[in-house]
Amino acid sequence: MKQPSIPGLSYRILAQDETRAILQFTYICPCCHRTSSVISSVFPSDYGRLELGGFCTSLTCSVCGRPSTVRFLYTMLSGKPGEDGSSA
């Protein structure tokens, strides 16, 4: 059975280099309805989508262990204060 993607809450880049990035994703699990916080790697082919938004990844719930496809938007990226990009 194919699962629909669900919107995530936030993600945070813990580490990033040329080979991969380590990210912490937070989302509400559709199975157990708990807040799940999952650390997962992202490869350079997806770096562009991390910055542009619309990033979608498969995560395993830290509470109940069920997999979900979760999508994240760039605006959810935390840790960059005040950089709104309001260039004329």
Sites of contact with Zn ion (CB under 5 A) = 29, 31-32, 61, 63-64
Q: For Zn ion, give the closer residue by CB, 20 or 66.
A: 66
Task: Determine the 3-state secondary structure of 11 from DSSP.
Answer: strand
Q: Exposed e or buried b for every residue in 17-42, given b needs 16+ CB within 10 A? A: eeeebebebbbbbeeeeeebbbeeeb
- The CB-of-43 to Zn ion minimum distance in angstroms stands at 25
In whole angstroms, what is the distance from residue 48 CA to residue 34 CA? 29
Q: For Zn ion, give the closer residue by CB, 38 or 42.
A: 38
DSSP tag of 7? E
Q: For Zn ion, give the closer residue by CB, 21 or 27.
A: 27
- The CB-of-4 to Zn ion minimum distance in angstroms stands at 16
- The CB-of-9 to Zn ion minimum distance in angstroms stands at 14
